[in-house]
Amino acid sequence: MTRSYGPLVESVRDLGVQFLDNDVNATGFDCASSIPLPGDRSLWIFGDTVEGPFETIRNLPLADVLSGTGGIVPLQDISGGVDGLEFLKSPDGRARQLLPFIPPEDRVTQRLWAIHGIHAGGRICLYYHKITMDPELDVFEAFTLDGMGIARAGSDFRFERMLAPDGTLEFWKGDQPGFGVFVQEFDGYLYLWGCIQPGATSAGDMHLARVRPDDIEDLAAYEYLAEAPTIDRPEVRPRWSNTFVPAAPLFDHVPNEMSSSFNAYLGRFISLTTFERDDRLVIRSAPEITGPWSEPETFFRPRRAKPDSLFNAGKEHPEFARQGGKVLYMTYVDSSVYAPHLVEITLA
């Protein structure tokens, strides 16, 4: 690994791969988003979850691979790693598929990837990608985003997929941002980040939507950031619209998954991501969630497990921050290891 601290970051500590010591024989999984719950707990959600020995997720047959699992973690000091994960299980003791497939969906060629969500109004809402795969090609290159859906559950974590106004399961279609890759509550709104992913690259533009917590399932209640300040035009006032147009990306070079939070220590909003799918963890900051956002600052270069390693799923877990936001925790996934890797970040 390479030190690459920048002006915002004082130091980085590598805490290693997490969650492989579990009681459901899960040996590989990605995503690793966390959602705070009442009672000092958090729900961690994972993407495709491999059980038993495997050499690589690439070209692995997907028929028996769960396309989304989750578990409960108590809030804790994770400076020594995350402890106490309890997977949500099926009656047979296997990790449970979080989101049910609905016929004629086919688990061999389609995936349901919950990305992030929120606990609001006594229920948990997840935003998820519906993906169509080509099983003959590399899993990292051969998926098509059909759209973004919403699922809800009560305290039993039994998720029901909601219907969009047009009767489909996709609230935002594949040519629109997948709003909900990260969700944060601020100033009476839920702010949802969404990415337009261009073709086979990982330089996605991040866009922003917002909705009142009580209106999560009402697509007509969402507003979209249509104009926003930039570094070159900081005087621009944010403007919201009832319809989405790709006119106000806040930053780019993001491989879909990301995080954003208000950092009390800095008194600014920050975003932690990977830079594309490179071996670069980056931080951006802004005075307001609507910007202007800074250029990405590389603060850590993870060591590649293999020469062809890809890096993704870089995101902060803000509920575990310490010292008033000076010490942060972020996970990312190296495709050659295919399990969440945790780092501790101390801000300057």
Residue 219 has pLDDT above 50, yes or no: yes
Question: Each residue of 270-319: pLDDT tens digit?
Answer: 999 999 999 999 999 999 999 999 999 999 999 999 999 999 999 999 99
Q: pTM of the full predicted structure?
A: 0.95
Question: Each residue of 56-76: pLDDT tens digit?
Answer: 776 677 778 899 999 999 999
Domain ranges across the chain = 2-347
Question: Each residue of 139-175: pLDDT tens digit?
Answer: 666 678 899 999 999 999 999 999 999 999 999 998 8
Return the pLDDT at 100.
Answer: 95
In eight-state DSSP terms, residue 319 is G
Return the pLDDT at 107.
Answer: 85
Return the pLDDT at 73.
Answer: 98
Q: Which of 5, 106, 59, 38 is nearest to 346 (CA)?
A: 5
Return the pLDDT at 2.
Answer: 45
Query: Which CATH superfamily hosts domain 2-347?
Result: Glycosyl hydrolase domain; family 43 (2.115.10.20)
Q: Is 59 left (phi over 0), alpha (psi -120 to 50) or beta?
A: left
Contacts of 117 (CB under 8 A, 6+ apart): 33, 35, 43, 45, 124, 125, 126, 127, 180, 183
Residue 1: pLDDT band (50, 70, 90) is very low
Q: How many CA atoms lie within 13 A of 10 on its CB side?
A: 7
Count the Cβ atoms, other than its own, within 10 Å of residue 251. 21
Residue 12's SS3 state is strand
